[in-house]
């Protein structure tokens, strides 16, 4: 039976196979591990990601102004949003980190995960070109962008969740800091967001309490919309 290497699993999840695997290796190498690390690839990936997300938003939301599109793009490419995608890809499992970062949980730190995701996208662009990078970004972001409600697009997640609950005469959500890891500026906050009446809760991490609450609220709102697409809800 053939053995599937970790890098192969990641490439399968991305939907892209590198012709130069050393680029992927570099993209997954933190500066704490080696002098040949991923920061230059991160720089490239940041530019590619911004351009591709901007193009997608331009196509999907013709009614939005330049300012609206800029704010929406900022939501999708911000650190905590990218860290969520990186976590879904289990990117932290593939990172090469120095001993200090390993001990402090660097493989789960949103800043490291987001940077690594950008570096991987930069590596894909250098390895396969713009069209290949576009396919990967499309795979990672298309559903997220398609789920955007234009009426809510310019509101933050906590506001949108509050309005959703109030429209159904439900109590406001409860937020709780579950744990706090590390020290500023590399702190990680884990926060829960709970709708008590419906007995639904989500958790999220962020580099600030506010960022974690926003992410947890967004996840809860997404879950509630799937479970209760109409105006009426059945309390559990």
Q: Is 215 annotated as a binding residue?
A: no
| Residue where the block lists tokens 């793009």 | 73
Q: Taking Cα atoms as reference points, which of 113, 28, 38 lies closest to residue 79?
A: 113
Residue with tokens 């990172």: 95
Other beta carbons less than 10 A from residue 89's beta carbon? 19
115 is in an annotated binding site: yes
Nearest C-alpha neighbor of 17 from the set 132, 184, 137: 132
CB atoms < 10 A from the CB of 193, how many? 27
Q: How far is CA 224 from the centre of its chain?
A: 19
Based on the residue annotation, tell me whether 46 is a catalytic residue of this protein. Answer: yes
Q: Which of 80, 101, 118, 213 is catalytic?
A: 118
Please indicate if the annotation marks 68 as binding a ligand.
no
Q: Describe the strand order of the beta sheet including 174-181 as a list of residue ranges.
A: 174-181, 188-195, 200-206
Residue with tokens 């398609």, as numbered in its chain: 146
Q: Which of 46, 101, 213, 215 is catalytic?
A: 46
- 101-132 core/surface letters (b: 16 or more CB in 10 A; e: else): beebebbbbbbbbbbbbbbbbbbbbbbbeeeb
What SS3 class is residue 87?
helix
Binding residues for Mg(2+): 42, 115, 118
- Among all residues, which ones are annotated catalytic? 46, 118
């Amino acid at each position: 039976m053939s053995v599937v290497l970790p890098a192969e699993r990641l490439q399968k999840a991305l939907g892209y196979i590198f012709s130069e695997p050393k680029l992927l290796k570099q993209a997954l190498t933190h500066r704490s591990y080696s002098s040949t690390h991923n920061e230059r690839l991160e720089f490239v990936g940041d530019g590619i990601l911004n351009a591709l997300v901007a193009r997608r938003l331009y196509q999907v939301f013709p009614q939005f102004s330049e300012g609206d599109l800029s704010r929406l793009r900022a939501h999708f490419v911000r650190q905590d949003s990218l860290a969520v995608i990186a976590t879904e890809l289990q990117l932290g499992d593939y990172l090469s980190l120095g001993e200090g970062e390993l001990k402090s949980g660097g493989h789960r730190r949103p800043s490291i995960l987001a940077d690594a995701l950008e570096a991987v996208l930069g590596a894909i662009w250098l390895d396969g070109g713009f069209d290949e990078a576009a396919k990967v970004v499309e795979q990672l972001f298309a559903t997220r962008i398609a789920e955007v409600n234009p009426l809510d697009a310019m509101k933050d997640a906590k506001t949108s969740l509050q309005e959703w609950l109030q429209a159904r005469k439900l109590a406001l959500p409860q937020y709780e800091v579950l744990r706090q890891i590390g020290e500023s500026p590399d702190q990680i906050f884990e926060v829960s967001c709970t709708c008590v009446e419906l007995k639904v809760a989500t958790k999220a991490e962020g580099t600030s309490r506010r960022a974690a609450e926003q992410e947890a609220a967004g996840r809860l709102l997404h879950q509630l919309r799937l479970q209760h697409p109409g105006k009426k809800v059945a309390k559990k």
